[in-house]
Structure 1
Amino acid sequence: MADHAHNLRARLHTAHQPGAVGVITRGTTGYNRLRRCDRWMAHHAGIRRLLRDAPEPLAIDLGYGASHTTTVEWARWLRRITPDVRVIGLEIDPERVLPPREGVHFELGGFELAGHRPHLVRAFNVLRQYDVSQVTSTWAMVCERLAPGGLYVEGTCDELGRRASWVTLDAHGPRSLTLAWDPHDVDTPSDVAERLPKILIHRNVPGENIHALLQRLDAAWERCAGWSPHGPRIRWRHTLDLLREEGLPFEASRRPIRDNLITVPWEIVDPGAAQPGTAGD
């Protein structure tokens, strides 16, 4: 069981910058830690269209932490979509704000986005250190500051980036949940549960939608055990085929990628929605 003792209530302000909204977090990061989300973004049709259609595309990495590493890596991935994308890293700790490097600018700021109107915002391992009651308010604060059609990707991953999950939001709220993992790092899909986004991690109990989804993934994975000799990637592809036949809605990947991954509509895991077959359907 993951240790969540650090998930204490954080006050949504900081004494260092009166206009900035947030709290200084531990800021741990590392090379390639966010690679699974980076790859997903680089091949996501909606994100590609959003950045290519924008006359001056702007992407913000919110709360990049004690190192600029993952922000610079993200910028490289986004430049594969459009080389003129402008990338800004925002940090609420003044001591972490750096001079520009590798085409990326760094500024002081938090959930208010330092007055910018970006087309794309990424925040990883930030809300994990907040209280769950603060998630929806910070989501709303970011989303109302997006450029028209903008997207906000908020998620969590482990220290080495082998297990990750993220929620994609727009101006209307959450749209989807993505689970992604190193095919050789988990025994069952539900192993990624320890890195669910803050809004869902405490909901992984019987009777909750996220728990039902993970159990469904595990059941399909087990039924595809015959493909194990071909490796976990091939087994997962057949698991997805089975889930599709069973009627689970999820986004089809534009191309095969090295990660085991699934993106489902938010209503499948929405904590406020009734489970299929329960009262209120």
Structure 2
Amino acid sequence: MRARTGRPSGEITRGTTGHNRLRRADRFLTAVYGSLLVSAERPLVVDLGYGASHVTTTELFWRLRRVRPDVEVVGVEIDPVRVAAARPYQRPGLSFAYGGFELPVDRPPLIVRAFNVLRQYDEARAFAAWDLLRSRLAPHGVIVEGTCSEVGHRASWVALDAAGPRTVTLAARLAGFGSPADLAERLPKTLIHRNVPGEPVHAFLRDFEHCWQVAAPYGAYGMRARWTAAVERLAGAWPVAATPPLGGQRRWRLGEVTVPWTAVAPVLYTT
């Protein structure tokens, strides 16, 4: 995943984006890593591969500013046309830069958000991209890398630090939700091809689907009640995060479930 001389590391994506597409990930980020933002000196956040519109980077900027009013956010895109289109929306603390996984910023970022940028890569290159990004982080920094549906109603992401991946989160808009099986196609690139018998992530989704079916009677009280009941049952067999900030009733009612990376990591994965 090394860049050629003078050329950003990575490939141009389709650029699909839209208002509130990454709201679920942003909500997680501010809840789980808000204290990291508050305690850091001159926190810098990178939104990597923001796409054909500035909108999700701008939304991230305003959401983070509620937590840390002086946070700086840089949207990074490998398509120079997209960078040029976004720059009229710059403001103090919010800017846009041309680049890729090498992260062309003036100091190591505290947080990197990267969504829907690795889907076109094969698994090996996705892991290599993780390694490159991790090497660029500030001390105690984190990466939130994942995938979501076109309107953001189904999503999953991995949280990583300099030492490697730490957690995996599945998230859904519960209104109109079908079942946990619907989330399989939104797994991060490092997991999506491992959803086959014999792999931990396949067993996790299978058990989650079973818990969802068992929790069907709770649907009479709404989808949140059914999701929460299913996650509580799932926690009896899997190391589901059950306490804040990663888990517990508050996060479950939002349509989230988080487990350690080690619980679902590919069988042959090594850090």
Would you say same fold, with TM above 0.5? yes
CA deviation string 1:28-62 (max 9, x = no partner): 11111111101111211xx1121111110100000
How far 1:185 moved relative to its partner?
Answer: 3.2
Show the counterpart of 2:103.
113
CA distance in 1, matches of 2:74, 2:6: 20
Structure 1 stretch 250-259 or stretch 147-156: which is displaced more? 250-259
> In structure 2, which of residues 16, 21, 25 is the aligned counterpart of residue 37 of structure 1?
25
How far 1:20 moved relative to its partner?
Answer: 1.7
CA distance in 1, matches of 2:104, 2:237: 45
How far 1:184 moved relative to its partner?
Answer: 2.2
- C-alpha contact 2:184 2:195 (8 A) present in aligned 1: yes
1:265 aligns to 2:249 (yes or no): no
Matched AA of 1:220: C
Provide closer, same or farther for how the CA distance between residues 253 and 189 of structure 1 changes in structure 2, counting only shifts above 3 A.
Answer: farther
Cα RMSD after superposing both structures = 1.9
> In structure 2, which of residues 40, 60, 64 is the aligned counterpart of residue 78 of structure 1?
64
TM-score (ref. length: structure 1): 0.87
Structure 1 stretch 22-31 or stretch 92-101: which is displaced more? 92-101
CA deviation string 1:106-145 (max 9, x = no partner): 0111100014400000000000122222011110000011
Runs of at least 5 residues in structure 2 that lack an aligned partner in the other structure: none
CA deviation string 1:128-167 (max 9, x = no partner): 1222220111100000110000001110001010100001
Runs of at least 5 residues in structure 1 that lack an aligned partner in the other structure: 1-10, 275-281
Q: Secondary structure at the match of 1:229?
A: helix
1:95 aligns to 2:86 (yes or no): no
- C-alpha contact 1:206 1:212 (8 A) present in aligned 2: yes
CA distance in 1, matches of 2:266, 2:137: 24
Taking every aligned residue pair, what percent have the same amino acid on both sides? 48
> In structure 2, which of residues 31, 42, 45 is the aligned counterpart of residue 56 of structure 1?
42
Show the counterpart of 1:5.
none
List, as ranges, runs of 4+ consecutive aligned residues in structure 1 with deviation greater than 6 Å. none
TM-score (ref. length: structure 2): 0.90
CA deviation string 1:187-221 (max 9, x = no partner): 21121111110111111111111110001111111
Matching of residues 53-202 of structure 1 within 5 Å: 53-97=39-83, 98-99=86-87, 100-103=89-92, 104-115=94-105, 116-202=107-193
CA distance in 1, matches of 2:133, 2:242: 24
